[in-house]
Amino acid sequence: MDSATVISTSGVAQLARRGDIGILTIDSPPVNALSQKVCAGLYEGLNALLADAGVRAIVLTCAGRTFFAGADISEFNKPLDGPDLYAVLGVMEGAQKPIIAALFGTALGGGLEVALAAHYRVASQNAMVGLPEVQLGLLPGAGGTQRLPRLVGAAAALEMIGFGKPVGAGRALALGVVDEICAEGAQLAAALAFARRAIDGKWPLRRVQDDDSKLLADRGNTALFAEFRKKNARAFAGFKAPENIVKAIEAAVALPFAEGMKREAALFGELVTSDESEAQRYVFFAERAVSKIPGLAPQAAPRKLAGIGVVGAGTMGGGIAMACLDAGYVVTLVEQTQEALARGLGGIRRNYQAAVDKGRLSAAQLEEKLARLTPVLEMEALRDADLIIEAVFERMEVKTALFAKLDAIAKPSAVLASNTSFLDLNEIAAATRHPERVVGLHFFSPANVMKLLEIVRGAQTGDDIIATAMAFGRKLGKIAVLAGVCHGFIANRAMHPRTAAAEALILEGPLPWDVDRALMAYGFPMGVFSMMDLVGLDVIGWDAATSKSETVQERLCEAGRWGQKRGGGYYDYDEKRVATPSPVAARIIHDVAAARGMKPRGFTDEQIIARLLYPVVNESAKLLEEGIALRASDIDIALIYGYGWPVYRGGPMMWADQVGLAKVVAGLEAQNITPCAPLREAAATGRKLHTL
Ligand code: 3HC
């Protein structure tokens, strides 16, 4: 085949010709998002090739690492200046020459919608295609909900669009999303060959919108949609987009294409202006911002980590060891006694065995992981470890003694990390001769499951240690958030006021189950009292020796109601640990309130939420004021991944902005809490808290 001749390059678009086939290549790094600039390039490029009498077919592709990865998420609120995506799709569907899209990388969202408006699609075998808009609180708004069901049928479209999970090229071919797959990197050559066959064979212009055949079978099949809604009600609860997606696909099945498109546009319009989508789009960028640490020395490269040492084989140490094993590291696990070591190892094996039983892990994988784990009793075995993570008893003198010892044993290049949840990292680091190599790695329990990892920077922690810790977090598949030293760091400190407010509130009227119900309706996966019962009331700040029967927790603990493990705490539990409101706990609460002269009154869910979560907003803003968190969005990310703060609320900072900061400030003052300076200033100046 002749080589292509470049006709023109203007902005993001390059036009070329290979014989009678025109090639339009868009180059807009990093991911060829369909910004206004890209849409203009597409619009003009397509029109130029369509007007060129010597061009008989068009191949559309991208330069760089991927086909269009979607609409440009940062431009949703930007006023339109020039042709938009709809205008581009109009040109494509009106074309009288075959257009072949050459897909590679990640053809997502609007990117796949562009491809669906082409007449044919060729994909590199490692390409991923999908409509992930639901994850941004949106639906595919450029015809995706109408065209994809025509290619794959309603049931497959519900799965693909409802969950937004991209599929590989092989699956896309089997489903009918693409027409051909080719070797990796050969998509342009394959699309050109495809175009040649289309020209020579005088193939018809195959517009997806014209073929209803796959949808006819589902016309009138209301059960399909009802079942999808029912099956996924739990997963979709609180999110706005899934329901609109189902409605749009219902419209694709029931209505002619043009009417379906109108319905899609209306449903998209509802979402794009919704609080939920604003929050989810913000989270998309916040998740990416969190890994960027301004001010690190440019030469601060991450150290190479191969062998990891974990000290302490309790619940945390075991979980941390598993997280490291899962990421492929070699792990040495140290305990003080054979018994504790055997217990820890037993726990690790049991956890992996449970994954095998559920079919998530093979028996061979289990053995391979355990083969990388060396259990020992001698601390000296950590001599060669590149990173040592301490997960021992949470008491300062225990930690400082350990760090002094580790400092002597570890090789000079080793990083020393503490998993402390509350203690002062600087004091721990001061026990070593090299505080610059000490960092906090605060895992959340269960450490092998929870996505949040707080990386705590001590006063002297080296930049390269921070870079190493961030890279380690990424390798573990965690969302690593940088925190400064304070009691509780970011997530625990920000959420502490919620617990305190909940404990105070139950003396004023709402009972634990009322509070928990309000929190779950807000979107938390669990209520605060259920959580305390799960953890154990005896281990969260109760001491039998000093208990004075004054608080509800003291009274519950004194009565042996330590939570789930004792069959009762705030709730009663049956043998399957199913919770029911406890009349015993209700009586204790009543008695404690009466002893303090308090009379119960009614609260709405909204009042309960304000009471519990406004103080979290205030504490979060304090974390910014004190420089503990780098950015407001880091706090939101920490609470989404550490505490299950619903992603469609965007975390406390975004949520506070959506509620209105003046209202939050007034709500705090009504609770006799002084709003901190950043919160007051933002409320007064109209600045958005989530942008700080
Ligand atoms: N718009 C704007 N910026 C985007 C973007 C998009 N659609 N997709 C990615 N980016 C940016 C990221 O913010 C990041 O910027 P940064 O370097 O400044 O932080 C950069 O591109 C690279 O992204 P990642 O760090 O995520 O790179 P990865 O290689 O890990 O992942 C990806 C690439 C799979 C494309 C991933 O970025 C992704 O999933 N993007 C979003 C895809 C998506 O949701 N598309 C649908 C958009 S909505 C839509 O199309 C509406 C339509 O129906 C009308």
Candidates 28, 31, 67: which one to mutate for ligand 1, based on the most atoms within 8 Å of Cβ? 31
CA of 73 to the centre of ligand 1 (A): 8
Q: Are residues 443 and 518 in the same domain?
A: no
CA of 70 to the centre of ligand 1 (A): 7
Q: Which residue owns the Cα nearest ligand 1 atom 1?
A: 72
Candidates 35, 66, 73: which one to mutate for ligand 1, based on the most atoms within 8 Å of Cβ? 73
CA of 398 to the centre of ligand 1 (A): 46
Q: What proportion of the chain, given as a percentage, has pLDDT over 70?
A: 100
Q: Which residue owns the Cα nearest ligand 1 atom 36?
A: 69
d(CA 639, CA 524): 11
Q: Which residue owns the Cα nearest ligand 1 atom 39?
A: 69
Q: Which residues participate in catalysis according to the annotation?
A: 113, 133
Residue 46 predicted with pLDDT over 70: yes
CA of 285 to the centre of ligand 1 (A): 9
Which of 118, 18, 16, 5 lies closest to 67, judged by CA?
Answer: 118
CA of 6 to the centre of ligand 1 (A): 29
Which of 421, 534, 414 lies closest to 485, judged by CA?
Answer: 421
Ligand 1 atom having least distance to the Cα of 131: 46
Residues with Cβ within 8 Å of residue 592, at least 6 apart in sequence: 507, 550, 551, 552, 555
Q: Which residues line ligand 1 (CB under 6 A)?
A: 30-31, 33, 69-74, 106, 108-110, 113, 132-133, 136, 138, 140-142, 144, 285, 288
Inter-CA distances, 203 with 52, 94, 102, 119, 324, Å = 20, 16, 18, 10, 55
> Has residue 104 been placed in a domain?
yes
Average pLDDT, the chain: 95
What's residue 540's pLDDT?
Answer: 85
CA of 549 to the centre of ligand 1 (A): 55
Q: What is the pLDDT of residues 557-599, one digit of tens each?
A: 999 999 998 999 999 999 999 999 999 999 999 999 999 999 9
Residue 1 predicted with pLDDT over 80: no
The CATH number of whichever domain residue 530 belongs to comes to: 1.10.1040.10
Per-residue pLDDT band for 76 (boundaries 50, 70, 90) equals confident
Direct distance between the N- and C-terminal alpha carbons of the chain, in angstroms, rounded to an integer = 56
> Has residue 56 been placed in a domain?
yes
Q: Which two tokens stand for residue 461?
A: 């922690």
Q: Which of 455, 488, 521 is the last residue of a domain?
A: 488
d(CA 156, CA 162): 10
Q: Which residue owns the Cα nearest ligand 1 atom 10?
A: 31
Looking at per-residue pLDDT, the higher value among 430 and 549 belongs to: 430
Q: Are residues 411 and 470 in the same domain?
A: yes
Number of domains in the chain: 4
Which residues share a beta bridge with 34? 71
Beginning with the edge strand found earlier in the chain, give each strand of the sheet holding 106-108 in spatial order.
106-108, 128-130, 167-168
Q: Which residue owns the Cα nearest ligand 1 atom 19?
A: 288
Q: Which residue owns the Cα nearest ligand 1 atom 52?
A: 110
Q: Are residues 125 and 246 in the same domain?
A: yes
The CATH number of whichever domain residue 410 belongs to comes to: 3.40.50.720
> Has residue 269 been placed in a domain?
no
Ligand 1 atom having least distance to the Cα of 66: 35
Exposure class string for 465-479: b at 16+ Cβ within 10 A, else e: bbbbbbbbbeebebb
Q: What is the pLDDT of residues 213-238, one digit of tens each?
A: 999 989 989 999 999 999 999 999 99
> Has residue 496 been placed in a domain?
no
Measured torsion, CA atoms of residues 413, 417, 423, 428, in degrees rounded to the nearest 10? -20
Per-residue pLDDT band for 60 (boundaries 50, 70, 90) equals very high
Q: Are residues 439 and 571 in the same domain?
A: no
Q: Are residues 244 and 113 in the same domain?
A: yes
Q: Are residues 290 and 386 in the same domain?
A: no
Q: Which of 595, 628, 648 is the last residue of a domain?
A: 595
State the DSSP string of 607-628. HHHHHHHHHHHHHHHHHHHTTS
Q: Are residues 439 and 351 in the same domain?
A: yes
Residues written for the chain: 692
Per-residue pLDDT band for 200 (boundaries 50, 70, 90) equals very high
Q: Are residues 410 and 538 in the same domain?
A: no
Q: Are residues 544 and 465 in the same domain?
A: no
Ligand 1 atom having least distance to the Cα of 144: 53
DSSP state of 515: H
Residue 2 predicted with pLDDT over 80: no
Residues with Cβ within 8 Å of residue 4, at least 6 apart in sequence: 16, 17, 18, 23
> Has residue 500 been placed in a domain?
no
State which residues form the domain around 387: 307-488
d(CA 464, CA 436): 9
Q: What is the pLDDT of residues 372-398, one digit of tens each?
A: 999 999 999 999 999 999 999 888 999
Q: Are residues 330 and 288 in the same domain?
A: no
What's residue 83's pLDDT?
Answer: 87
Q: Are residues 566 and 631 in the same domain?
A: no
Exposure class string for 180-214: b at 16+ Cβ within 10 A, else e: bbbeeebbbbbbbbbbbebbeeeeeeebbbeeeeb
Exposure class string for 310-319: b at 16+ Cβ within 10 A, else e: bbbbbebbbb
pTM summary value: 0.92
Q: What is the pLDDT of residues 489-542, one digit of tens each?
A: 999 999 999 999 999 999 999 999 999 999 999 999 999 999 999 988 888 888
Q: Are residues 97 and 234 in the same domain?
A: yes
